[in-house]
């Protein structure tokens, strides 16, 4: 309840600022030294101006309006992909219902993606469940774990800080949040001692049955390494806890020397006592991936070592939604199986995800040092090379300041 109240207060405060911003120059406007409010408090890339990926929108357009597939407006590979997806829809239309767990074609694509991602560790469509976003999937699983009242109520170990929606979700599901603080001095790492301490403290006031992990961390950005993941799995096994792993930011790892490693990949390289017993549910979604398609509302979860009867109940609970929006399911297929080298749309698709080296250099220099250089040769580039433009017709003191900033920028590893 406190969390919900805090969110309401934050929204109200922002509303007041926005109203005042509309009256710049008035009595209200004089209170603030800015002319507009830039809201970066929530993860909604498209609302913030992020442009949708062309390939995704083209394929969806063809699926929604098949007449386009009879013309040459869209690239050939886009039309072929749209036709394949429509063939997977009942009646050849996105207007049809799908299985509650999602279209088999899309679940198979997701399974193939997971297998590629994890270096050959097998994944199967029967273990994949598509839902209307990550939150819906997490709610289904948590509700299956929920039972009892007060001392017998289910507890879920949850990192602090955690995604701002999780406490309210656990509360709605009728389970107790068992907090375990992350270690800020170690980059918000998971602390095994804190996990044991939290578990010991919780017993007696609830029954801990699961541990929720966010990797890469939200909102901390921490990326767990192999050893850390292995320790958490061992902890979950020893305490008989179900692992609920939020991996929705797996495509957003940029730290030097860091890489995303899935919990499933680590689990499948551990001893048999863990491989065959640890119950794992991992989550991914469109909203937090590089596509940022929050409005299409689709995500998935993969269940590992979960009893078949429990999986039946998962599908039954998903039935209350009838089916996840079909356009979102098709977008999931495009997320896990993007254009490949040789496809007509490959160059355009990858171009949207990349920035030329000289442009990136100038952006980073401007952001870190406040120095604005020109990117590229003014009269054309030499293939394969990158250049910067620097005007030296400035005051000597200014030029010295610029050169000092460039030197400092390079000394910090930006070469």
> Each residue of 81-124: pLDDT tens digit?
999 999 999 999 999 999 999 999 999 999 999 999 999 999 99
What pLDDT does 129 receive?
95
| Cβ atoms 318, 305 nearer than 8 A | no
What pLDDT does 415 receive?
41
Q: Where are the beta strands (DSSP E) in 147-259?
A: 154-160, 176-181, 207-214, 242-246
What pLDDT does 414 receive?
44
SS3 331: helix
CA distances from 131 to 78, 137, 270, 290, 320 (A): 25, 6, 30, 19, 11
| Cβ atoms 132, 321 nearer than 8 A | yes
CA distances from 128 to 131, 136, 247, 270, 283 (A): 10, 14, 15, 22, 10
CA distances from 274 to 90, 236, 237, 280, 386 (A): 40, 10, 7, 11, 50
What pLDDT does 34 receive?
64
What pLDDT does 127 receive?
96
| Burial classification of residue 106, based on how many CB atoms lie within 10 Å of its CB (0-12 exposed, 13-18 middle, 19 or more buried) | buried
Q: Is the pLDDT reported for residue 381 higher than 60?
A: no
Structural domains of the chain, with CATH:
1-41 (no CATH), 96-336 (3.40.640.10), 355-411 (no CATH)
What pLDDT does 370 receive?
83
Rounded to the nearest 10 degrees, what angle do helices 76-88 and 54-64 cross at?
50
Q: Choose the weakest-confidence range: 35-39, 230-234, 273-277, 356-360.
A: 35-39
**Backbone φ, ψ for residue 261 (5° rounding):** -125, 125
What pLDDT does 408 receive?
85
| Cβ atoms 365, 166 nearer than 8 A | no
| Cβ atoms 178, 195 nearer than 8 A | no
What pLDDT does 7 receive?
45
pLDDT tier at 6, thresholds 50, 70, 90? very low
Mean pLDDT of 54-69: 96
| Cβ atoms 302, 263 nearer than 8 A | no
What pLDDT does 388 receive?
77
pLDDT tier at 177, thresholds 50, 70, 90? very high
Mean pLDDT of 185-214: 95
Q: Residues near 220 by Cβ (< 8 Å), separated by ≥ 6?
A: 161, 182, 187, 188
What pLDDT does 9 receive?
45
What pLDDT does 367 receive?
72
Q: Which helix (H) or strand (E) holds 374?
A: strand 374-375
pLDDT tier at 35, thresholds 50, 70, 90? confident
What pLDDT does 1 receive?
39
Residues 234-251 pLDDT 10s: 999 999 999 999 999 999
Q: Which helix (H) or strand (E) holds 282?
A: strand 280-285
What pLDDT does 5 receive?
41
Q: What's the angle, vertex CA 305, arms to CA 300 and CA 311, rounded to 5?
A: 55
Q: What is the value of pTM for the model shown?
A: 0.78
Q: Which helix (H) or strand (E) holds 304?
A: strand 299-304
What pLDDT does 386 receive?
73
C-beta neighbour count of 298 within 10 angstroms: 27
| Cβ atoms 264, 121 nearer than 8 A | yes
CA distances from 296 to 7, 239, 319 (A): 24, 38, 19
Q: Residues near 410 by Cβ (< 8 Å), separated by ≥ 6?
A: none
Average pLDDT value over all residues in the chain: 86
What pLDDT does 20 receive?
45
């Amino acid at each position: 309840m406190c969390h919900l109240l805090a969110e309401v207060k934050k929204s109200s405060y922002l509303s007041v600022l926005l109203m005042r911003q509309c009256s710049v120059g008035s009595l209200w406007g004089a209170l603030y030294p800015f002319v507009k409010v830039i809201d970066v408090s929530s993860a909604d890339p498209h609302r913030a101006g992020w442009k949708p990926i062309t390939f995704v929108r083209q394929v969806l357009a063809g699926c929604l309006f098949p007449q386009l597939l009879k013309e040459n407006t869209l690239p050939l590979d886009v039309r072929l992909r749209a036709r394949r997806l429509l063939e997977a829809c009942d009646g050849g239309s996105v207007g049809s219902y799908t299985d509650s767990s999602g279209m088999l074609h899309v679940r198979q694509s997701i399974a193939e993606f997971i297998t590629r991602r994890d270096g050959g560790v097998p994944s199967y469509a029967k273990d994949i469940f598509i839902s209307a976003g990550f939150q819906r999937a997490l709610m289904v699983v948590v509700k299956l774990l929920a039972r009892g009242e007060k001392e017998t109520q289910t507890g879920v170990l949850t990192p602090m800080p955690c995604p701002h929606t999780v406490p309210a979700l656990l509360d709605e599901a009728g389970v107790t949040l068992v907090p375990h603080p992350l270690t800020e001095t170690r980059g918000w790492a998971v602390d095994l001692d804190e996990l044991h301490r939290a578990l010991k403290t919780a017993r007696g006031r609830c029954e801990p049955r699961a541990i929720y992990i966010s990797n890469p961390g939200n909102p901390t950005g921490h990326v767990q390494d192999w050893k850390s993941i292995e320790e958490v799995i061992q902890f979950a096994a020893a305490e008989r806890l179900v692992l609920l792993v939020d991996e929705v930011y797996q495509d957003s790892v940029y730290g030097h020397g860091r890489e995303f490693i899935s919990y499933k990949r680590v689990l499948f390289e551990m001893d048999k006592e863990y491989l065959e017993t640890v119950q794992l549910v991992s989550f991914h979604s469109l909203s937090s991936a590089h596509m940022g398609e929050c409005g299409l509302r689709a995500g998935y979860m993969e269940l590992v070592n979960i009893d078949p009867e429990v999986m039946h109940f998962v599908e039954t609970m998903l039935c209350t939604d009838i089916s996840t929006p079909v356009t979102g399911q098709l977008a999931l297929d495009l997320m896990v199986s993007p254009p490949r080298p040789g496809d007509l749309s490959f160059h355009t698709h990858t171009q949207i995800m990349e920035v030329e080296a000289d442009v990136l250099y100038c952006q980073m220099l401007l952001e870190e040092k406040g120095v604005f250089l020109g990117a590229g040769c003014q009269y054309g580039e030499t293939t394969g090379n990158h250049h910067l433009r620097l005007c030296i017709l400035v005051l000597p003191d200014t030029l010295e300041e610029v050169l000092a900033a460039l030197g400092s920028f390079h000394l910090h590893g930006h070469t």
